[in-house]
């Protein structure tokens, strides 16, 4: 079965640079979520989109932005990168949990961002 | 507001022994509860979930968990540990109308031969 696809899997950037992560949800999933997992930490919710509209917002820095496109893929844009942004970034997808409360959220393999 | 507490950041068991990973939650709304497993350098894989209905839920790889509302707990168990179970385990909670998962701090399971 198709899973959540994230690219790139690994990314190395210098401080103050910009990075873009991409996420392709499971087919027919209309909701996308972004999480950040620092080294040895639990995943922290950043932001989510349902039908291309922001549906929830967590601890996403102002330097970060995200959007969901008409084909439901999503991109997380990170600017003015800091050393502390080094983390594993997960994208997840699901069918609407508003329309189907029990819908399962599936995670991608993650994108490793290293800021040097 | 919701939160999750996983008791024990590291659990070590012998192969073939019972696995018990503890999770307690706090939620102002009826909780939906999840256990995810993360193998080294990999993503999060859903082991099992509780939404509504039967409070004892069975998941993949022989794991199960029981939702106990009176104890606000959702402990994960497996009767007999296998070496391949060594991984990081995360308990998570969300409300019924949101996909925002709140994760616990994680428990590293070590399985000794």
pLDDT per residue as tens digits for the range B31-66: 899 999 999 878 899 999 998 888 999 999 999 999
A67-112 per-position pLDDT tens digit: 999 999 999 999 999 999 999 999 999 998 777 777 889 999 999 9
Which among B32, B43, B100 has CB closest to A45? B100
Chain B CB contacts of A48 below 8 Å: 99-100
DSSP secondary structure of B31-80? -EEEEEEE-TT--EEEEEEE-SS-SEEE-GGG-EEEEEGGGTEEEEEESS
Beta bridge partners of B13: B111
Which among B36, B45, B100 has CB closest to A58? B100
What is the C-alpha to C-alpha distance for residues B107 and B37, in angstroms, rounded to an integer? 10
Tokens of B34: 């999840």
pLDDT recorded at residue A87? 96
Contact B99 A94 (CB under 8 A): yes
Q: Is the dihedral of CA A109, A111, B1, B4 positive or negative?
A: positive
């Amino acid at each position: 079965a198709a899973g959540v696809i994230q690219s790139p899997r690994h990314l190395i950037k210098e401080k103050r640079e910009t990075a873009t992560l991409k996420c392709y949800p499971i087919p027919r999933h209309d909701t996308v979520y972004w999480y950040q997992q620092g080294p040895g930490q639990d995943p922290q919710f950043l932001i989510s989109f349902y039908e291309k509209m922001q549906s929830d917002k967590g601890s996403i820095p102002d330097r970060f932005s995200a959007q969901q496109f008409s084909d439901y893929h999503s991109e997380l844009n990170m600017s003015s990168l800091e050393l502390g942004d080094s983390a594993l970034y997960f994208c997840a997808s699901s069918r609407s949990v508003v329309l189907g409360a029990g819908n399962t959220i599936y995670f991608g393999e993650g994108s490793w961002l290293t800021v040097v | 507001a919701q939160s999750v507490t996983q008791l024990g950041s590291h659990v070590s068991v012998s192969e073939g022994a019972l696995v018990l990973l503890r999770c307690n939650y706090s939620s102002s709304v009826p909780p939906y509860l999840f256990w995810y497993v993360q193998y080294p350098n990999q993503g999060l894989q859903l082991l099992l979930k509780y939404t509504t209905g039967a409070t004892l839920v069975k998941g993949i790889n022989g794991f199960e968990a029981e939702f106990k509302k009176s104890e606000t707990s959702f402990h994960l168990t497996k009767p007999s540990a296998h070496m391949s179970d060594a991984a990081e385990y995360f308990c998570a909670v969300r409300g019924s109308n949101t996909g925002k998962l709140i994760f616990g701090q994680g428990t590293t399971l070590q399985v000794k031969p």
